[in-house]
Structure formats: C-alpha cells, structure tokens
Structure 1
Amino acid sequence: MMQFVESPYKNDDVIIIRKLKKDGSVDSEIIQRITDILHKNGLVILPIDSQYEIVGIANALVENKLKNIIKSRTKKFVRLIASFKMLESLATVTKFQYDFLHRIWPGEVTAIVPRKEDMSQEIALRFPKAKFVQEIIESIGQPLFATNILRVTKGSNKHSDIIRVFRKKVDAIVIIEELCKRHPKPTLISLINGKLKILRTGKISSEEIQSYYYLGSCDEEV
C-alpha cells in the first residue's frame, strides 16, 4: 500500500516534489525508483509536460492494465518517446515529415503517423519536452504508453484527488507541486497519407503548427 509522507519523497510510493530543478530534472534516486517500477511492468502517474498521465512500458501486459483502469477495451494509447531513433523504430515518415517533427518536438504535440511494420496502421507518438520524463524513457530504453488521468478522476487534476483515486490502482504517484494549474492537452495532429490534419488544438496553436509545417514546404521549394 502507498504511503503519503512529507517531502522529500525518494523511496516512497507517493513522491511529492516541490519544484523541478532549473534544467527540468529531478534527483537521480527518483528516476531510479520510477524506472525500477516500470521495468517490472508497473504503472506510475507522472506529470507529462504538466498533464498528469498514467504511464507504463509499451507492451501487451501494461496495455491490458491501463484498459482495466480506464474501463475501455478499445482505447489506443499514445507512446512517449525520447529520441528520433525511437521514432524511426516505430513509424515510417518521409524526410519532409521527419524535418517537420524535428521542428515541433520535443513539445506538447501528439502526432499520428504510419506504423513502421504496417503502414496501413496508425500509431500515436509524443516526444515530451520535460527533461526528467526524457531521462525516464531513456533509462527504460523503450517507449512508454501514456493515458490522461482525467477520464478516471472525472475531470479533476487536484493532487489530493489524484492520490485518493489512484493510490490502490497504480504502483507509484509522482506529484510536482508547481505543476498544479489546469493545463491544456497536447495538440493532436495526423500525418497520415502525407497530409497535415490538426485533430485537436491544445497547448500549441493551429497557426504555430501550420507555420512549422509550411516552413518546410518553402524550404523544399528553394
């Protein structure tokens, strides 16, 4: 069972961090604690660029656990990556699309792209900008599934509600106190069939996404 203790939280199942370091990192002991849990196919709640999400290694066992928590058997989960090498291992994109993704990532944008092993299928990827999240993914050495907590908390992102709702559902909860305000969801785009479609406007505006995309078009014409 999880324990809620006053900070600093380093080896407890509820880890409360007052604020990130200036470079966006956290103590190495916390990274190690989280990666140990994830390596065992555990689930952890993390703030992913200010949106609290449930994460776990991208495999069938973890996928089933996540579906049980959110009570959906059809939900498809975003994969979090921490390098463009991971992108190349998961998806097939053109050079133009690759360069475009370089302009928007790391950032608060989820991109739906063709799956590498079967281009007729889609895969949703996001490259978070938070350094400590990148460090966790790099330490794991493979992508993480992620899903937003709001479906389960009925729209609440209060830290007390997160702990109350999830303390018996996941293996650890990481709360960063400075990330307590309601935050827009990541912008959702599709690059299927070689076209840009903005499916949901979030933290990054449609205009900004389009400017990065068509900047590449201008470069190709020169």
Structure 2
Amino acid sequence: MKTLSVSIQKEAISTLRQGGVIIYPTETAYGLGADAKNLHAVEKIFVLKGRATKKTFPLIVADLKMAQQYAEIPTLLLQIAHRYWPGPLTIVAPVKKKTGLAESVIQKDGTVALRVSSCGIARTLSYAIQAPLIATSANYSGDAPSYSVRAVKNSLKRSPLQPEMFLDVGALTKRCPSTIISEKEGKIVLLRRGTISIPKIYVA
C-alpha cells in the first residue's frame, strides 16, 4: 500500500468536514466514506451505491474509546475488541442516546456496527473529523468489492453521483470482508463470516 502525502490527507479531511464523499483504503477493500453524523453526506452514499435506504452502513472509528462514545458495548464484546482491534472485526452493539449519528446508520433494533480498522489511513481520517466514517465497500450495489481505484471508478460508472475525492494507494491485496459479531444473552452471535475465523472469536 502506497503512502499518502500530508497535503492529500488534509484535503481528504477537509472534504469530509464539508460533507463530501471520498474513496479510501481499508484493510479489506476500498471503501466509500463520509462523516456518519452528516445526514446529507450519508444520503449521498446511498445514491452513489444505488442502495435501498432500509439497509444501514457499518462504521469505522478511530479507536476503542470513540467506539464506546457511540455504542454500549457489552463486556464480552469489549474483551474481544481488546484482542482483535485494530483489525477486520465489526461489532454490532446498542447505540447510545444523543450521539448525533445520522438515523440511516442506526439499525431498526437500535444497534450500530463499528470497527477499528487496521488501516492507519482510515483511523486517521476518523480521528481527524472526530466522528465515525461510513465504511461500505466502494462499488455499485450488487458488484464485487473493489481492490483498486480503477475498479471503483468502473463500478460507479452507472451511478448518478460521483465521490468528491479518491485516495489512491494502489492495488490492495484481495481479502475476505470483516467478520461481524454481536452478543446475546452472554454469548457471541456470528452475523457474518470473514477474515477472523470463528474459533478465534470463541476462544477470545
């Protein structure tokens, strides 16, 4: 993965603060990013992806402290987070009250999906804007995840909107998506298989 200049990173941060949408790298694939507290920006991502608004987006946060500002993370999930974050593990937990998050990122059951990415660029962006980043794959709905900016642009050709900025760090290694888990009655619930295997989660 190529590094980004300080000026490019500053431009990306400014774009996010102004309600723009960016393409940025994560540890799994390129993602579509926006300030998760900016409703207009989040709505643009729904249009960009051609995705039904009844589906919510997962979020990337700067660190565990930020995750706890937005969600009530049960003790068991906290233990797992301490072990696997930063990394490709998404935790679904009840959202806290008055977080300022756009309603469209909160699921009907009052939960939100969060992860601390092992990609430093993603964490830096979230920290800089002091808000979670939308972390949906950078592709039109129904297409495969994109591992290069060229693939992103090709997938989004049919979209009526385009991102304001592309953070191109070169081709990413193809990986499985993040593992998604939640907690119910003191037990781990596997919602999606991913990079982190099931046995590792259960022994955490």
TM tier relative to shorter chain: 0.7 to 0.9
1:156, distance to aligned residue in structure 2 (A): 5.9
Give the distance between the partners of 2:197 and 2:135, measured in 1 at CA: 22
- What's the CA shift for 1:95? 3.3
Alpha-carbon offset, residue 151 of structure 1 = 4.1
Q: What corresponds to 1:219 in structure 2?
A: none
Give the secondary-structure state (helix, strand or coil) at the position aligned to 2:203: helix
Residue aligned with 1:198, SS:
strand
From 195, 201, 209, give the equivalent of 2:201. Answer: 209
Q: Give yes or no for contact 1:153–1:165 (8 Å, CA) kept in 2.
A: no
Query: Greater relative contact order (Cα 8 A, min sep 6): structure 1 or 2?
Result: 2
Alignment match, 1:34: 12
Q: Structure 1: which 4+ aligned runs deviate by more than 6 Å?
A: none
Structure 2 match to 1:216: none
Structure 1: unaligned runs, 5 residues or longer: 1-18, 213-222
Q: Which residue of 2 aligns with 1:121?
A: 110
Q: Identify which of 42, 65, 82 aligns with 1:63.
A: 42
1:166/1:37 CA distance change after superposition, 3 Å:
farther
Alignment coverage as a number of residue pairs: 188
Confirm whether residue 174 of structure 1 aligns to residue 167 of structure 2. yes
Cα distance change of structure 1 residues 97 and 160 upon mapping to structure 2, 3 Å threshold:
closer
Q: Which one-letter code corresponds to 2:119 in the other structure?
A: A
* DSSP-derived class of the 1:169 partner: coil
Question: What's the CA shift string for 1:25-58, capped at 9, x where partnerless?
Answer: x322221011011011000011111311101001
Match of 1:20 in 2: 2
Query: In the alignment, residue 74 of structure 2 is paired with which amino acid?
Result: T
Verify the 8 A CA contact 1:137 1:143 in the aligned structure 2. Answer: yes
Name the residue aligned to 2:101: none
8 A contact 1:45–1:174 mirrored in 2: yes
TM-score (norm 2): 0.82
- 1:74 aligns to what? 54
The one-character-per-residue Cα deviations of 1:76-106 (angstroms, maximum 9, x if unpaired) are 0111101222112111123343222111111
For normalisation by structure 1, the TM-score amounts to 0.76
Alignment match, 2:188: 196
The answer as to whether partners of 1:90 and 1:116 remain within 8 angstroms in 2 is: yes
AA partner of residue 170 (structure 1): P
Structure 2 CA distance for partners of 1:30 and 1:193, relative to 1, 3 Å: farther
Supply the distance in 2 between the matched residues of 1:143 and 1:156 (Cα, whole angstroms).
Answer: 21
The change in CA–CA distance for 1:131 and 1:35 in structure 2 (over 3 A counts) is: same
Structure 2 alignment gaps of length 5 or more? 99-108
* Letter of the structure 2 residue corresponding to residue 50 of structure 1: T
CA offsets 1:80-137 (integer angstroms, 9 cap, x no match): 101222112111123343222111111101111111229x611100110111221111
Q: CA RMSD in A?
A: 2.2
